[in-house]
Structure 1
Amino acid sequence: MTSLNLLRPVRAALVVAVLLQALAAVLVLVPLLVLIRFTESSLSEDPLPGTVLVVAAVAGTLGAALLSSAATWITHRADADLTWQLQTRLAETVRRVPLPLVTGSGAARIKKAVQDDTGALHYLVGHTLLDVTGLIITPLAGLVALAVIEWKLALAALIPLALGLTWYLRALNASGGGFAEMGRTQQVLGTAVVDYVHGLPTAKVYGGVGGAHTRYLSAVHGFHDFFYGWVRKTSTNTTASGLVVASGLTAAAFALLGWGGLELGWVDSGGLVAGVLLGPTIGAPVAVVGPRLQAVRSGLAAVASINAFLGQEHLAWGDRPATGSVRLEHVTHHYDNSSTALDDVSLELPGRGLVALVGASGSGKSTIASLLARFTDPSEGRVTLGGIPLREVPEDHLYEQVGFVFQDTSLRRASLLENLTGGRDIPFEDVVAAAREALIHEEISAAPRGYETVVGQDTDFSGGQRQRICLARAFLRRPGLLVLDESLSAVDAHSRRRLIQTLQVQARERTVLLITHQLPLVREADLILVLENGRLAGQGTHEHLVSTSSAYRALLQDQTTITESRI
């Protein structure tokens, strides 16, 4: 997708706005031309022009203001429409890309695309485009007008323009990769500041923040040294390019030049006034071309970034509804195209019953949960529901059939009732029943406004309470498969035992997959699956695995050792 295609929805509006701004940039010179005519008549003691020129000056002033305002309104309206469309497309892309691209470093990329890049486009579309139009059209129109009135001064007006551009290009060349280096040093400095601030609690307790403080000072000095050296290389040329086209200096220069020409007879009084009024407008854009050029570069870079984000890999969904058991068939999965999370795993979850998935940290348990939720697709093999690959199942249908509760709970800033129902029309008695099953009804009833309590506004909840709220939300869906990924980790021991009993009751009607590292919770499971280094190392009941699976016995031994060390 090209930059032009990205701006296609608002291209017609931008063309109209540029044309209006170009006309306004010409009309803004009309009052100056009228003033030149009046001054010329006064100096030559000719009769002053009539009211027609006065009306023309007023009309030019008002017309320029109205046209410029209309152009600005059009570009801002176009920017608002474009921002809405792009952010909608970006949000849809975020929803459909594999979850690993969203989390971690991908989150910073999302923030940059959705917020920073669309912000840079705002300046490009809403401001810079019109600014550049005015900076080009007004000097060209002024040069043409001056050439018609006094061509010798028009040629002279090109001298400060040429000098300003020459010095500006020298400054730009001297900066080299300065802009990129500035961005890099700012990023290093920002990271060092964050690390240093995070280390302040340690500094208060232990009297120092070690390497964070050193990195902060190094980053500050590094940025200072870079910026000082960069400014030294460019300041002379930058200052000279600004001074040579400064309006006051160029007006004074044209006054002297015009006065000399008037004395020598090669410039008349009208040419003198035209040079003083129009001459400064010809070279003036050089003084502000730097910020505008940087805005254009930033806008085009934002377009490229948004294009790259929209064009990345995404998950496609099918249209084949499916029910039945879930299978992993020779599933292998890699992260970052290197580390292997799962290695040729094949398993089938029964149609009902309490199934436990256990293993050491990093054995691949959460990866299986991500594949079941289709947050990503396996690198090799496939995951099926009722024999149909998940990629061929409609998205909404999958989440009706499979429910999930994860360790990292997420509640919206909305009422508890809305968090539980997701906005669906569910009888209130069913909501209460699910909350009772999840052992959270009493805490909700004790909240300031009961089920209408707004999370994060009226009150907040502990990690264990949030996990039970999310568990109640999953119970309300009544899915065929309920996946719990370490979702009881923050629940107190007494509530955890009661919830296991609830899950055993739930397992009579559906499959409950309990992913946990707490082995005492799984002894009564109908089926235990053991992962070791990304491979299936055993499956069966607790008694069966104790006698047949060395990996399971090692997990039991490790847990026993940890328990004894706490006593």
Structure 2
Amino acid sequence: MTRNDTAAAAPGRAEPGPGAPAPSPLKVLLAPVRGRVAAAVALQGAAGALGLVPLVCVAEIARALLGPGAPDHGRAWALVGLALAGAVAALLAGAASTLVGHLADNDMQLAVRRSLAAHLSRVPLGWFSGRGSGRVKKALHDDIGEVHSLVAHTLPDLAAVVAVPAVALVYLAATDWRLALVAAALVAAGIALFARAMAGGNAKLAEYARAMNDINTSAVEFVEGIQVVKHFGGHRRSHARFLRAADAFADFFVSWARATTPVTVASFLLLSAPTVTVAAVLAGTAFTAAGWTDPVSVVAFALVAPALCAPMNVIGSRVQQVQAAGAAAARVAAVLAVPALPEGAGGVPRDAGVVFEGVRFAYPAEGDREAQEVLRGVDLVLEPGTVTALVGPSGAGKSTLAALPARFHDPASGSVSLGGADVRDLPAETLYRTVGFVFQDVRLLRESVADNISLGRPGATRAEVEAAARAARIHDRIERLPRGYDSVVGEDADLSGGEAQRVSIARLFLADPPVLVLDEATAAVDPVAEADIQDALADLARDRTVLVIAHRLATVTGADRIAVMEDGRITESGTHGDLLAAGGRYAALWNARHRHDGTEEGEEQ
């Protein structure tokens, strides 16, 4: 899929005309199913209106039998049939609305998830490392779920909220406009009180969120630091912070409740069906005594007037759901708006050499974080078949530089070439077949161990998978699993960090890439596992071009080249012996680690 194809696949994506305001993300998301959503809304509105037909028919049956003149039994039976037909039609319209709305919702979800999957496959890999899986999961699952509720439930429900009172008011006004005004005034008063209770609600909700955040923060601080706090006798002070946050929240919430509860309760009472019914009957009785209306009209109001207010009790929650869906759609749109890496259409590496030339890179600004330049004109050549180690203090830019050959990011200026071809000109399939990487943080799929390994070369035979596992020193451990290579990671294959790392190395043995990037692959494992991983990596690195980030200098003394990075630049480069003889930064780091008995102490980040 090309970049243009990906953009076209986004549901409802369209460029606004010159000077036209951009459509809201929610409108864009719903654009492909707008017609069916409108049909579901209309059907639910019709269902709500048809649901009033039996009540209206009962009132009219009373008029036919109890009104002036002789009872009209024929009309009464016709109204009975109409009431039954209305009830059935209401059920059918409601069922049709549910069916149309859910089918539209299914298509919308499928289109959005496909669009997200296609787009996320094109964004820089480094975008994921900065956010983890939470933001992607929220967009693919949680946020689309919010929009699902809007399409399948909230919008149709709002149609009923509008249709039912409107139809009821028309019928009541036609029956007796004076009583209709009484009922409408009661509902209007309830709505006005509710609006008054909700005045300033956004500011209060923001204050509520801040107060809850203070409680959560103080609670997490207390729990996570409980060992240190208790050891140094500061538990009372830490506990006091939590109590102050809880007391502040309680004071705020009680104050808010005292200010709004009386008005809110009054509005709910005015909008309750019993209140409207009693008010309509009392007013109708008074009007009948005054000769302004007839008793049968009072029956009609007792039956239908509650329909004016019943939907009002749910309108607040439905509006909140619309707002939540709008926010969810905005988050989905933000993910779809992440710039995709343009994919090259040509270029074939001549060899496995890697060249960094004048590379500069800055992480973009996001939120309150300003843009931060981490690479400042890096020049480095990785000769084919050699091992190059990057060392230096934390934050020097080592991991950022190592991620560029695999296009986790593209440099802001300068170039990274692979076998003479700029990596930006290489198709993704060619690039990832050429560059392999092993990181400290390993991710395995919830699939069988064999499937996890064969990701390196789909279609590999079981014998090839097992050979790769043997080379990675993990075959014997896999054989001890309940179902061997068919054991599923996370179900019957519980692997330690070092074992998972060796599975990922087996994947690379199978993929057989000529260029290998190792980023602190053994930093988080125990010494026994580290020895196995180092042996596996030594075999894997043989005859390949290797870039390794070293966290312990003693592990890279045999590298063909050691490059020292500081503040986004390479300040020294050479063999271990050359750098020691030069007496520069590398020699200072080495001597600091071997000041005592010649063994390395600490870790070089």
Tell me if 1:359 matches 2:392.
Answer: yes
Relative to structure 1, is the Cα distance of residues 497 and 196 closer, same or farther in structure 2, using a 3 angstrom cutoff?
closer
SS at match of 2:394: coil
Deviations 1:429-474 (A, max 9, x none): 3222222222222222233332222222223222222222211211
Please tell me the residue identity of whatever aligns with 1:329.
E
Aligned to 1:36: 59
> Distance between the aligned counterparts of 1:9 and 1:447, measured in 2?
48
Deviations 1:519-561 (A, max 9, x none): 2221222222222232112222222222236121122113214
Aligned to 2:71: 46
Relative to structure 1, is the Cα distance of residues 379 and 225 closer, same or farther in structure 2, using a 3 angstrom cutoff?
farther
Aligned to 1:480: 514
> Distance between the aligned counterparts of 1:235 and 1:410, measured in 2?
51
**Maintained 8 Å contact 1:537/1:549:** no
Relative to structure 1, is the Cα distance of residues 496 and 110 closer, same or farther in structure 2, using a 3 angstrom cutoff?
closer
> Distance between the aligned counterparts of 2:117 and 2:228, measured in 1?
38
> Distance between the aligned counterparts of 1:414 and 1:548, measured in 2?
51
Of the three residues 292, 296, 299, the one matched with 1:270 is 296
After the TM superposition, which residues 285-434 of structure 1 pair with which residues of structure 2 at under 5 Å, given as runs? Answer: 285-323=311-349, 324=351, 325-335=353-363, 336=365, 337-422=370-455, 424-434=458-468
**Maintained 8 Å contact 2:554/2:600:** no
Relative to structure 1, is the Cα distance of residues 26 and 495 closer, same or farther in structure 2, using a 3 angstrom cutoff?
closer
Relative to structure 1, is the Cα distance of residues 501 and 141 closer, same or farther in structure 2, using a 3 angstrom cutoff?
closer
Relative to structure 1, is the Cα distance of residues 107 and 440 closer, same or farther in structure 2, using a 3 angstrom cutoff?
closer
TM-score normalised by structure 1 residue count: 0.92
Deviations 1:329-358 (A, max 9, x none): 111222344443222111111111222222
- Tell me, which stretches of 5 or more residues in structure 1 are unaligned? none
> Distance between the aligned counterparts of 2:308 and 2:524, measured in 1?
70
Deviation at 1:158, TM superposition (A): 1.6
Deviation at 1:420, TM superposition (A): 0.7
Aligned to 1:177: 203
Aligned to 1:73: 99
SS at match of 1:314: coil
> Distance between the aligned counterparts of 1:364 and 1:34, measured in 2?
78
After the TM superposition, which residues 518-557 of structure 1 pair with which residues of structure 2 at under 5 Å, given as runs? Answer: 518-548=552-582, 550-557=584-591
Aligned to 1:516: 550
SS at match of 2:415: strand
SS at match of 1:7: helix
Relative to structure 1, is the Cα distance of residues 389 and 221 closer, same or farther in structure 2, using a 3 angstrom cutoff?
farther
Question: Higher mean Cα deviation, 436-445 or 409-418?
Answer: 436-445
Deviation at 1:132, TM superposition (A): 0.8
Deviations 1:166-196 (A, max 9, x none): 1122112143512233334334434444444
- Tell me, which stretches of 5 or more residues in structure 2 are unaligned? 1-22
Deviation at 1:397, TM superposition (A): 1.6
Please tell me the residue identity of whatever aligns with 2:445.
R
Deviation at 1:478, TM superposition (A): 0.9
Tell me if 1:18 matches 2:51.
Answer: no
Relative to structure 1, is the Cα distance of residues 209 and 368 closer, same or farther in structure 2, using a 3 angstrom cutoff?
farther
Report percent identity of matched pairs. Answer: 39
Relative to structure 1, is the Cα distance of residues 391 and 298 closer, same or farther in structure 2, using a 3 angstrom cutoff?
same
Question: Higher mean Cα deviation, 542-551 or 258-267?
Answer: 542-551
> Distance between the aligned counterparts of 1:110 and 1:403, measured in 2?
24
Aligned to 2:87: 61
Question: Higher mean Cα deviation, 16-25 or 437-446?
Answer: 437-446
**Maintained 8 Å contact 1:21/1:71:** yes
Please tell me the residue identity of whatever aligns with 1:556.
W
After the TM superposition, which residues 442-481 of structure 1 pair with which residues of structure 2 at under 5 Å, given as runs? Answer: 442-481=476-515
Deviation at 1:96, TM superposition (A): 3.5
Deviation at 1:56, TM superposition (A): 0.9
> Distance between the aligned counterparts of 2:494 and 2:417, measured in 1?
39
Question: Higher mean Cα deviation, 556-565 or 281-290?
Answer: 556-565
Question: Higher mean Cα deviation, 256-265 or 187-196?
Answer: 187-196
Relative to structure 1, is the Cα distance of residues 517 and 175 closer, same or farther in structure 2, using a 3 angstrom cutoff?
closer
Aligned to 2:128: 102
Deviation at 1:486, TM superposition (A): 1.1
Tell me if 1:224 matches 2:250.
Answer: yes
Relative to structure 1, is the Cα distance of residues 376 and 192 closer, same or farther in structure 2, using a 3 angstrom cutoff?
farther
Deviation at 1:203, TM superposition (A): 6.5
SS at match of 1:381: strand
Deviation at 1:202, TM superposition (A): 5.3
**Maintained 8 Å contact 2:505/2:537:** no
**Maintained 8 Å contact 1:486/1:516:** yes
Please tell me the residue identity of whatever aligns with 1:447.
L
SS at match of 1:341: strand
Question: Higher mean Cα deviation, 271-280 or 132-141?
Answer: 271-280
Question: Higher mean Cα deviation, 50-59 or 186-195?
Answer: 186-195
> Distance between the aligned counterparts of 1:211 and 1:478, measured in 2?
57
Deviations 1:200-257 (A, max 9, x none): 5557777765776444333323332222222222222212211112110110111111
Aligned to 1:235: 261
Question: Higher mean Cα deviation, 446-455 or 184-193?
Answer: 184-193
> Distance between the aligned counterparts of 2:281 and 2:399, measured in 1?
78
Aligned to 2:17: none
Aligned to 1:150: 176
SS at match of 1:347: strand
Deviation at 1:406, TM superposition (A): 0.4
Aligned to 1:560: 594
Aligned to 2:13: none
Question: Higher mean Cα deviation, 58-67 or 445-454?
Answer: 445-454
> Distance between the aligned counterparts of 1:442 and 1:234, measured in 2?
68
> Distance between the aligned counterparts of 1:332 and 1:312, measured in 2?
21
Of the three residues 6, 27, 32, the one matched with 1:9 is 32
SS at match of 1:346: strand
TM-score normalised by structure 2 residue count: 0.86
Give the number of aligned pairs. 566
**Maintained 8 Å contact 1:360/1:517:** no
Deviation at 1:153, TM superposition (A): 1.5
Please tell me the residue identity of whatever aligns with 1:464.
G
Deviation at 1:376, TM superposition (A): 1.7
SS at match of 1:177: helix
SS at match of 1:384: strand
The root-mean-square deviation of aligned C-alpha atoms, in Å, is 2.6
Of the three residues 281, 291, 298, the one matched with 1:255 is 281
Relative to structure 1, is the Cα distance of residues 209 and 393 closer, same or farther in structure 2, using a 3 angstrom cutoff?
farther
SS at match of 2:309: helix
Question: Higher mean Cα deviation, 299-308 or 408-417?
Answer: 299-308
Relative to structure 1, is the Cα distance of residues 469 and 394 closer, same or farther in structure 2, using a 3 angstrom cutoff?
same
Deviation at 1:405, TM superposition (A): 0.6
> Distance between the aligned counterparts of 2:530 and 2:321, measured in 1?
57
Relative to its length, the structure with more helix (as a share) is 1
Of the three residues 160, 178, 189, the one matched with 2:186 is 160
> Distance between the aligned counterparts of 1:106 and 1:494, measured in 2?
29
> Distance between the aligned counterparts of 2:421 and 2:63, measured in 1?
88
Please tell me the residue identity of whatever aligns with 2:378.
V
**Maintained 8 Å contact 1:435/1:441:** yes
SS at match of 2:310: helix
